């Protein structure tokens, strides 16, 4: 018989500290974000005052150690924060997700002491980060990127055009991937830390999107942009490793965004169906509606278990590659189904902007596209199970 203290805990059981943290983020989201959601969506903008509040709340440097001014938390804390924020606004969820699971994460893992000492305190206190890998011609095939880095006299000069860069409008610090040697294929790829204001760096066109409209998605233009050699993240020619490893973790964050927004939609659907009367009673009294809600809640719970398990594996330093791909794939589909049902159960009111489910339905679609499309997650899972 196993000792009771060694019995694994249920995945959804949170520690006291995790519960307090999650509840405080949730309360913040309900009190301070909810009133802004519709306006931010319509104007496709996030007020800087809200970003400042996210720093004050301590969710912009969750895994950054205390001595750099961060919250000294775990990856799981970041997942809880992204989930809670996304239940109210997935645009805020992704801003916090990119900051923590991609940018701070890459610096913590790959940054030399001097880079960490310079940028982690900024990221924890005031600087927004962005992660610039994709280009017009390289999305799923990310390592076909063509942004060029040429070394000369103690610095690199970067030239190229990045596309789809989340947080680009707000960002002060960019992780930019470029190749030092196009003939070397993926082995030429190198990651650089580039500051806003660097000569030759500019933020270009902002995309007008279907969903997560308040999250900025922009072009990033590099024209002979000068970056000190000390700003290489990791090693020259090892940027592919930085990208692969951070994106493996980042996609757990996207899973968290998806379960958060699905929970938000489900909560709205439950409240509405209990209130809305047709045929002389609440529509939630019809078994047909109850079964649909029950199925949605089950799918969402399964997605949450996948996301939490992947995050717990990562914090436990256990392999999580397949778990991360599965959680993103499944959570994105669950979010699409649950938000679609929520629109359906609101009837005509689900189709208009006066109610929140229309927006969550639009927001859900991105989960199947960024940080590796659903087909690319399937490719990863297939490779693992087939041993190919």
Ligand X SMILES: Cc1cc2nc3c(=O)[nH]c(=O)nc-3n(C[C@H](O)[C@H](O)[C@H](O)COP(=O)(O)OP(=O)(O)OC[C@H]3O[C@@H](n4cnc5c(N)ncnc54)[C@H](O)[C@@H]3O)c2cc1C
Give the Cβ contact number of residue 293 at 10 Å. Answer: 18
- Which residues are 226's β-sheet partners? 157
Q: For ligand X, what does the binding mask look like between residues 87 and 116, x meaning CB under 6 A?
A: -----------x------------------
Q: Which stretch binds ligand X (CB under 6 A): 9-17, 125-133, 266-274, 348-356?
A: 125-133
In whole angstroms, how far apart are CA 292 and each of 185, 261, 359? Answer: 49, 18, 20
Residue from 270, 373, 381, 384 in contact with ligand X (CB under 6 A): 373
Using alpha carbons only, how large is the chain's radius of gyration in Å? 21
Do 229 and 85 meet the contact criterion of CB atoms below 8 Å apart?
no
Nearer to ligand X, 89 or 346 (CB): 89
Give the Cβ contact number of residue 81 at 10 Å. Answer: 32
- Determine, following the binding rule CB under 6 A, whether residue 173 of this chain makes contact with ligand X: no
Catalytic residue list contains 151: no
What is the rounded distance in angstroms from the CA atom of residue 388 to the CA atom of residue 382? 8
Nearer to ligand X, 77 or 362 (CB): 362
Which residue minimizes CB distance to ligand X?
Answer: 139
What is the rounded distance in angstroms from the CA atom of residue 168 to the CA atom of residue 183? 29
The torsion angles phi and psi of 85, rounded to 5 degrees, stand at -65, -40
Q: For ligand X, what does the binding mask look like between residues 215 and 234, x meaning CB under 6 A?
A: --x-----------------
Orientation of helix 239-275 relative to helix 287-315, angle to 10° = 150
In whole angstroms, how far apart are CA 184 and each of 32, 139, 177, 199? Answer: 49, 19, 15, 28
What is the rounded distance in angstroms from the CA atom of residue 328 to the CA atom of residue 312? 15
Closest approach, Cβ 361 to ligand X, in A, equals 16
Q: Are strands 129-132 and 173-179 parallel, antiparallel or unpaired?
A: parallel
Q: Which stretch binds ligand X (CB under 6 A): 78-86, 181-189, 332-340, 369-377?
A: 369-377
CA angle 265, 266, 270 (to 5 degrees): 120
- Determine, following the binding rule CB under 6 A, whether residue 133 of this chain makes contact with ligand X: yes
Residues 139-158 that bind ligand X (CB under 6 A): 139-140
Nearer to ligand X, 379 or 384 (CB): 379
Nearer to ligand X, 60 or 341 (CB): 60
Residue from 36, 59, 128, 132 in contact with ligand X (CB under 6 A): 132
Q: Which stretch binds ligand X (CB under 6 A): 85-93, 251-259, 307-315, 362-370?
A: 362-370
- Determine, following the binding rule CB under 6 A, whether residue 380 of this chain makes contact with ligand X: no
Nearer to ligand X, 79 or 133 (CB): 133
Nearer to ligand X, 132 or 323 (CB): 132
First to last CA, the chain: 38
The torsion angles phi and psi of 363, rounded to 5 degrees, stand at -65, -30
Residue from 68, 131, 174, 346 in contact with ligand X (CB under 6 A): 131
Q: Which stretch binds ligand X (CB under 6 A): 61-69, 85-93, 164-172, 353-361?
A: 164-172
Would you tell me which residues interact with ligand X (CB under 6 A)? Answer: 98, 131-134, 139-140, 164-166, 209, 217, 366, 369-373, 375-376, 379
**Catalytic residue positions?**
371
């Amino acid at each position: 018989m196993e000792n009771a203290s060694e019995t694994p805990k249920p995945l959804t059981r949170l520690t006291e500290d995790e519960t307090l943290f999650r509840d405080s983020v949730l309360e913040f989201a309900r009190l301070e974000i909810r009133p802004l959601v519709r306006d931010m969506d319509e104007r496709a903008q996030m007020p800087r005052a809200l970003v400042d509040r996210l720093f004050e709340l301590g969710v912009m440097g969750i895994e950054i150690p205390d001595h750099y001014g961060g919250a000294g938390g775990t990856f799981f804390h970041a997942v809880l924060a992204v989930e809670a924020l996304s239940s109210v606004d997935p645009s805020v969820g992704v801003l916090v997700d990119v900051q923590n699971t991609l940018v701070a994460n890459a610096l913590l893992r790959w940054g030399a002491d001097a880079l960490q000492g310079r940028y982690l305190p900024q990221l924890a206190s005031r600087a927004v980060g962005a992660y610039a890998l994709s280009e017009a011609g390289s999305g799923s095939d990310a390592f076909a990127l063509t942004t060029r880095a040429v070394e000369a006299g103690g610095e690199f000069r970067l030239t190229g055009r990045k596309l789809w860069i989340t947080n680009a409008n707000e960002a002060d610090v960019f992780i930019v991937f470029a190749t030092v040697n196009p003939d070397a294929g993926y082995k030429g790829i190198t990651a650089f830390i580039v500051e806003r204001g660097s000569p030759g760096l500019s933020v270009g066109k902002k995309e007008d999107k279907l969903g997560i409209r308040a999250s900025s998605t922009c072009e990033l233009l590099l024209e002979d942009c000068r970056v000190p050699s000390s700003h290489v993240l990791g090693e020259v020619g090892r940027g592919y490793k930085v990208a692969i490893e951070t994106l493996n973790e980042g996609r757990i964050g996207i899973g968290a965004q998806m379960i958060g927004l699905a929970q938000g939609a489900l909560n709205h659907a439950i409240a509405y169906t209990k209130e809305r009367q047709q045929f002389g009673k609440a529509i939630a009294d019809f078994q047909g509606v109850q079964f649909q809600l029950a199925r949605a809640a089950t799918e969402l719970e399964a997605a949450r278990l996948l996301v939490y398990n992947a995050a717990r594996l990562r914090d436990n330093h256990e392999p999580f590659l397949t778990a991360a791909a599965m959680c993103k794939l499944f959570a994105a589909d669950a979010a699409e189904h649950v938000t679609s049902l929520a629109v359906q159960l609101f009837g005509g009111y689900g189709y208009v902007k006066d109610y929140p489910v229309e927006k969550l339905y639009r927001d859900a679609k991105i989960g199947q596209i960024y940080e590796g499309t659903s087909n690319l997650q399937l490719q990863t899972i297939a490779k693992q199970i087939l041993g190919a």
